[in-house]
Amino acid sequence: MFRKLFILALVGGLLYLVFLHPPISRVLFSGKPILVKTVELTEYLLISFVKILWQAVLAVTKILQFLAGLAVDVWTRYGGGNSPSFDIRDKRELYALYRQVESWSGLPWQIFWGLHTEETSLGRNLGSTPILTVLPASQKTYFLQMCRELQWDPNQVYGSHKGAIGPFQFIPETWVRHAVDGNGDGVKDPFNVEDAAYSAANYLVYKGGQQDLQKSIWHYNQDPQYVKRVMRYLKYVPDQV
């Protein structure tokens, strides 16, 4: 029974394509040579296949975005968790930290002082925007991963209006991909200044900072004036700290 129905549906579909589907029937019943007809039909079918494939990709993307949003809602409602914490360090502690990061990464310590200052005024301005309200769907998956690992309540995480968090202002995906446990406590926390500084160094090295420091800083923040300001910190000397 089902076999007969399948055959009838297949035959019906073929008859429709041959006689009623204008793009195909127009080519089949034209007076063009068989080779030309073959080329035109092949081209049409390939283009149609690509269009269908693209629509499928868009549909899957929308489904994934919906699932990410649903996960956010579920985690927000039932996840609970804590708020991230951050402590302000004095300049001598920061200088000692940045010299350690310099030794670890091969990048000048002043650059980390510059990034920290430019991004959050050495941690004094971490941002007051609820991250969940500004993150695009593509970033929410990474953000929720961070919240699960750090046992944070997603509603209690604040940062910039662009969705960056912590003293070095990482967006969630960049943090997940390049985070380093700088203080060796077994946790990678973007609000911990040691973890954040080592992670910033890791990202700059990944972007070629040991060969072209300016270019790697540009990847950190794609603003030429920002790069110039950070590079000026290379003029700082230890006795000014």
30-55, pLDDT tens digit by residue?
767 877 767 776 877 778 777 887 88
Residue 70 lies inside a defined structural domain of this protein? yes
> What is the rounded average pLDDT of the residues 122-126?
93
Lowest mean pLDDT among 18-22, 199-203, 218-222, 236-240: 18-22
Residue 16 has pLDDT above 60, yes or no: no
Q: Within this chain, do residues 108 and 211 fall inside the same structural domain, yes or no?
A: yes
3: which residues sit within 8 A by CB, 6+ positions away? none
Residue 53 lies inside a defined structural domain of this protein? yes
Residue 233 lies inside a defined structural domain of this protein? yes
Residue 206 lies inside a defined structural domain of this protein? yes
Lookup result for tokens 């997940």: 176
Among 78, 109, 137, which residue terminates a domain? 78
Lowest mean pLDDT among 3-12, 13-22, 54-63, 84-93: 13-22
For the purposes of burial, counting CB atoms within 10 Å of the CB of 153, is it exposed (0-12), middle (13-18) or buried (19 or more)?
middle
- What tokens were used for 239? 């006795």
User: pLDDT for 69-109, tens place per residue?
Assistant: 666 555 555 555 677 877 778 899 999 999 999 999 999 99
The parent domain of residue 167 ranges over: 91-240
Q: Within this chain, do residues 7 and 66 fall inside the same structural domain, yes or no?
A: yes
Q: Indicate the average pLDDT of the chain.
A: 85
Residue 104: which of 168, 192, 200 has the closest Cα? 200
Q: Within this chain, do residues 126 and 189 fall inside the same structural domain, yes or no?
A: yes
Most confident residue range from 13-22, 66-75, 201-210: 201-210
For the chain, the domain total comes to: 2
Q: Within this chain, do residues 74 and 158 fall inside the same structural domain, yes or no?
A: no
Lowest mean pLDDT among 26-30, 35-39, 180-184: 26-30
Residue 161 has pLDDT above 80, yes or no: yes
Q: Within this chain, do residues 46 and 162 fall inside the same structural domain, yes or no?
A: no
- What tokens were used for 1? 């029974």
Q: Confidence class of residue 63 from pLDDT cuts 50, 70 and 90?
A: confident
Q: Within this chain, do residues 32 and 72 fall inside the same structural domain, yes or no?
A: yes
- Write down the pLDDT at residue 18: 52
Residue 24 lies inside a defined structural domain of this protein? yes
Angle of helix 224-232 relative to helix 213-220, nearest 10 degrees, comes to: 120
- Write down the pLDDT at residue 79: 54
Residue 42 lies inside a defined structural domain of this protein? yes
Extended beta strands in the chain, E state: 129-130, 158-159
Q: Within this chain, do residues 195 and 235 fall inside the same structural domain, yes or no?
A: yes
